[in-house]
Chain A
Amino acid sequence: GAGVSQSPSNKVTEKGKDVELRCDPISGHTALYWYRQSLGQGLEFLIYFQGNSAPDKSGLPSDRFSAERTGGSVSTLTIQRTQQEDSAVYLCASSLERQASYGYTFGSGTRLTVV
């Protein structure tokens, strides 16, 4: 597609429920990133996929968070047993490759609210 597409744009869930957030990157972009943006905070790196390489999961805050990328394209971020502190905007970005000269293209994010 023309840009990075994320769905849903907004999600309200009850504490303890599982949620799945979807990211559809720009066609041909091999690198895909998930970030979390809490109110008043900078973007927090969560996980990075590059082609067929093993993902960099170093930013995942707990084992309740997981992500997969099927077929090198669409990615799903799953949060199990959601907690109120998980409330944030979850942003996905993609780029041609993880090189300094390329910028990232971000999606509009999914605003997650855990009540």
Chain B
Amino acid sequence: KNQVEQSPQSLIILEGKNCTLQCNYTVSPFSNLRWYKQDTGRGPVSLTIMTFSENTKSNGRYTATLDADTKQSSLHITASQLSDSASYICVVSPGNTPLVFGKGTRLSVIA
């Protein structure tokens, strides 16, 4: 069964600190992996999209990594800001079948 597991479920960090969110997946076939940020009351917004051949991709203070051999991805947030408080969702695309969504990590950045 295609699944995406994320950890931790929730995380609280101090403003200015770094953090890393984890994503493990059992999705086959694999087309791409995406990280989304979802603010409360809003729809998810894409941060990064990585295909099989890409190991890392950055978007500002967000850096995603992908290890297609171990089927793991991480999202690293550098120098966190209060506005980074949101849910971060890992999504894997099997190609021409529906996306498989993780349940997300709820990040709270506090002053």
Interface size class of B (residues with CB under 8 A): 20 to 34
Interface size class of A (residues with CB under 8 A): 20 to 34
**Cβ-closest chain A residue relative to B93:** A100
Taking CB atoms, residues of chain B closer than 8 Å to A93 are 43
Please report B residues at the A interface, Cβ cutoff 8 Å. Answer: 4, 31-32, 34, 41-46, 49, 51, 89, 93, 95-96, 98-99, 101-104
Top 5 nearest A-B pairs (CB, nearest first) are: A106-B43, A45-B98, A42-B101, A43-B101, A103-B46
A109 within 8 A of B: yes
How many whole Å from B50's CB to the nearest CB in chain A? 10
Number of A-B contacts (CB under 8 A): 51
User: Whole-angstrom distance between the alpha carbons of A48 and B103 in the complex?
Assistant: 21
Can you sample 21 A-B contacts with CB below 8 Å? A4-B43, A33-B98, A40-B103, A41-B103, A42-B102, A58-B98, A59-B98, A91-B43, A91-B44, A100-B32, A100-B51, A100-B93, A100-B95, A101-B51, A104-B46, A104-B99, A105-B46, A107-B43, A108-B41, A108-B43, A109-B42
- Asked whether, in the complex, the Cβ of B104 is within 8 Å of the Cβ of A42, the reply is yes
User: Whole-angstrom distance between the alpha carbons of A35 and B43 in the complex?
Assistant: 11
Taking CB atoms, residues of chain B closer than 8 Å to A59 are 98
**Cβ-closest chain A residue relative to B104:** A42
- Asked whether, in the complex, the Cβ of A42 is within 8 Å of the Cβ of B43, the reply is no
A15 within 8 A of B: no
User: Whole-angstrom distance between the alpha carbons of A45 and B101 in the complex?
Assistant: 9
